[in-house]
Amino acid sequence: MRILLLIIQFPPDVNSTGLLMAQLCAGLQARGHQVSVLTSFPHYEKFRVWDEYRGKLAERGSYNGMDVLRLYVYASGTKQRMTHRLLSYLSFCGMATLAGIFSRKSYDIILCTNGSFFSGIAAFLIGRTKGIPFVYNVQDLYPQTPVMAGQLRSRNAIAVLEKIERFMYRHAARVSVITPSFRDNIVAKGIAPDKISVIP
């Protein structure tokens, strides 16, 4: 199977979700699957793009035998403010959507993580354009997590993000979560339980 992983942080970025997905993809490769990665330029630790990627829009490389296309991402040097993080997520969504739609490569499925809230939109648009299903891997609950952390307070923004969240759940071929409580939270939003898999 030809798999496209869509994820905002991926090694050499040091991020738990990126490292986890890199290990998962290595396992998939060991089982004979072909994995390609669509990700951003490394920037996570200091929320600033590494010097060697400055001034570029994209760069193709490899990681443990996987074809990796790294893309421009907005990173201002401060991720404490939610507006900066949302702009970062939106920039990656836009770049990933364009790169995925105009890619000449063919895939059987898209695996997308929600480390960047809008990544699911990119996966949906690429999948809809190319006729590819996408699996939405939920590592955190948005916008619930930033709301509970006090980072997001605007009722209008929360309402919009909740609608986007439900849209991504509805249009994914499958939704994978890391805990039963995540599954229950998503089911409470009207998503069929048999569409959701718990993978700790």
- Domain containing residue 82: CATH number: 3.40.50.2000
Tell me, what's the pLDDT at 41? Answer: 97
Ranges of the chain whose pLDDT falls below 70: 78-80
In a domain, 42, yes or no: yes
**Which residues make Cβ contacts (< 8 Å) with residue 110, sequence separation at least 6?**
3, 4, 5, 6, 100, 123, 126, 127, 132, 133, 134, 135
Q: What pTM does this model have? A: 0.92
In a domain, 185, yes or no: no
Tell me, what's the pLDDT at 8? Answer: 95
Letter string b/e over residues 172-190, b meaning 16 or more CB atoms within 10 A of that residue's CB: beebbbeeeebbeebeeee
Backbone angles phi, psi at 13, to 5 degrees: -55, 135
For tokens 């699911």, what's the residue? Answer: 120
Tell me, what's the pLDDT at 80? Answer: 61
Letter string b/e over residues 50-83, b meaning 16 or more CB atoms within 10 A of that residue's CB: eeebeeeeeeeeebeebebbbbbbbbeeeeeebe
In a domain, 159, yes or no: no
In a domain, 62, yes or no: yes
Tell me, what's the pLDDT at 83? Answer: 80
Backbone angles phi, psi at 119, to 5 degrees: -60, -35
